Amino acid sequence: MRILVIEDDREAAAYMVKGLGESGYVVDHAADGRDGLILATSHDYDAMIVDRMLPGIDGLAIVQTLRAQDIRTPVLILSALGRVDDRVRGLKAGGDDYLTKPYAFAELLARLEALLRRANPTAAETRLGLADLEMDLLGRTVTRAGRGIELKPREFTLLEFLLRHAGQVVTRTMLLEGVWDYHFDPQTNVIDVHISRLRGKIDKGFDRPLLHTVRGAGYCLRAG
């Protein structure tokens, strides 16, 4: 899932982007209100995290502009202003939730996940699977034939992408954009390395392979 973070505090933004990335999200970041509004209105996001006090355009104005343009993307507002009337003002401006600084990242993540579930309840899958391979998206666990498989965050995101496209040939470009958020070829073997590691974890020691290389095309996760 793709998240937009609009936060002008460099350290706070870096911490948030890193944490969200480690949790499996693809994250775009804008450091001021104007750039944030441009991104918010020109790209599709699953959710946005918007600081209230921003240079250029403040966070509430961004949310109001989005709602005026009928952009219904869920927005979590962050602010050091924590009085009741401040929170009410943020929600009335069109925010879906309001979190007061300082905050615990675990709470921010939980609130974000709640927004995503409420925004798209019919598509709120909690499990993905193929044959005897199962992925729990909420618990962030993977098992095959009942055996637990330890995956690093990027490996988990890669497997999730492949499971969501099970039976389809996934190209390198699709992986670069969907898993690494690259919109260019970095001219590295990053995909090969991660595919090799993932294959070793989900296929090694089992009767039949699930992760297949399609020569000249890409990769395919399939049962046969």
CATH code (residue 136) = 1.10.10.10
Report the pLDDT averaged over residues 74-95.
93
Q: Using DSSP bridges, classify how beta strands 147-149 and 141-144 pair: parallel, antiparallel or unpaired.
A: antiparallel
Range of the domain at 90: 2-122
pLDDT, average across residues 131-155: 93
CATH code assigned at 107: 3.40.50.2300
Give percent of the chain with pLDDT exceeding 70.
97
CA nearest neighbour of 53 among 97, 86, 96, 29: 86
Residue 125 confidence (pLDDT): 64
Mean pLDDT of 14-41: 91
Last residue of a domain, one of 79, 99, 122: 122
Same domain, 175 and 202: yes
Residues 118 and 131 in one domain: no
Asked whether the beta carbons of 96 and 49 are under 8 A apart, the reply is no
- What are 198-215's pLDDT values in tens digits? 999 999 999 999 999 999
Shared domain check, 148 and 84: no
- Let me know whether 13 and 111 are in one domain: yes
Q: Is 213 in contact with 171 (CB distance < 8 Å)? A: no
Say how many domains are in the chain.
2
All residues at 6 or more sequence positions from 36 whose CB lies less than 8 Å from its CB, including other chains? 4, 6, 30, 50, 54, 57, 62
pLDDT of residue 61: 96
Compute CA 174 distance to the chain's CA centroid, rounded to the nearest angstrom.
16
CA distance 71 to 122: 19
Instruction: Name the domain boundary from 70, 94, 122.
Output: 122
Is the same domain home to 31 and 140?
no
Q: Mean pLDDT score of the chain, rounded to an integer?
A: 91
pLDDT tier at 163, thresholds 50, 70, 90 = very high
In terms of domains, do 74 and 117 share one?
yes
97 and 9 in one domain? Answer: yes
Residue 221 has pLDDT above 60, yes or no: yes
| Percent share of the chain, pLDDT over 90 | 71
Mean pLDDT of 117-121: 74
With CA atoms as reference, report the closest residue to 142 among 65, 206, 97, 189. Answer: 206
Mean pLDDT of 103-127: 80
**Local confidence band at 95 (pLDDT 50, 70, 90 cut-offs):** very high
Residue 8 · residue 54 · CB < 8 Å = yes
pLDDT exceeds cutoff 70 at 121: no
Residues 113 and 142 in one domain: no
